[in-house]
Each structure stands twice: as C-alpha cells, then as structure tokens.
Homo-oligomer: A and B are copies of this chain.
Amino acid sequence: MSRKTVNIAEKYKLFSEQWSPKIIAQMNDYHFKIAKIQGEFVWHSHPETDEVFMIMKGELNLEFRDGTLKMKEGDLYVVPKGVEHRPVAEEECYILLVEPAGTVNTGDVDSSERTVEEVPWI
C-alpha cells in the first residue's frame, strides 16, 4: 500500500509566505487548506458556503461587523455562509481552513491583492 498520513505541522515547514493558502487534503468535494497569516485580511463573505477556521498556532481576531471573536490555538469556528468577516492576526498565526474546493479566499470581493485564484497542493 502507498498510503501516507499528512502531518500538519510538517506541512507548515514547507513554506514561509503569508496569505498564501495550500491544500493538504481533499474529502469528497471539500479541501483542507493551511495558511500562515499576519496583519489584516479584507472584509468578505462566502455567499454559498460555511467556512471552518481552526487555529493551529498563535492567535487570531476574527472580526465581524458586530464584534470580534478572539481565537487561540486549538480553537475551531464555523463562519456561517453569507456572514461578513475579516481575519486579523497581530503576530503570525497558522490556520487550517475547511471549505468546498474552489472557494476563493476573498469570497464575494471580486479581486484584491489578497485574492488567490489558484490554490496549490503542498
């Protein structure tokens, strides 16, 4: 057999660029993606899907229009579809995202400097 586990911590060692998600696994038509982020993202929503955030290292302020959710390592949160949000990390934060394959990171925002059209596997 040629089965291999994905060790998430090892995958983070393979890249250093921030705001550049990488796919580490696919389950049915969903992707598991990892990213290193620091600073402010853009306000956006995903009109068609919920989006899971898991914090693998560091802390994340997940801003909503009506308040901020403070997340730390080991936390999981599901952003409901259609809800505007903006991830902000003061220090570098490692996140794991779960969402349908093809979901664009900036959602309903057509294009920003943060938009990544083609997310590579790692």
Chain A positions near chain B (C-beta within 8 angstroms): 1, 3-9, 24-28, 30, 32, 49-52, 64, 66-67, 69-72, 74-78, 81, 98-100
- Contact B74 A27, beta carbon cutoff 8 Å: no
Q: How far is the CB of A13 from chain B (nearest CB, A)?
A: 12
Known contacts A27-B52, A49-B28, A50-B28: A75-B3 contact under CB 8 Å: no
Give the residue among A5, A70, A75, A78 with the most B Cβ atoms within 10 A.
Answer: A5
The complex is assembled from copies of this chain, and their number is 2
Cβ–Cβ < 8 Å partners of A49 in chain B = 28
**Does the CB pair B6–A32 fall under 8 Å?**
no
Q: Are the C-beta atoms of B28 and A67 separated by less than 8 Å?
A: no
Closest chain-B Cβ to A100's Cβ sits at a distance in Å of 8
Given A25-B76, A52-B25, A76-B8, A3-B98 contact (CB < 8 Å): no
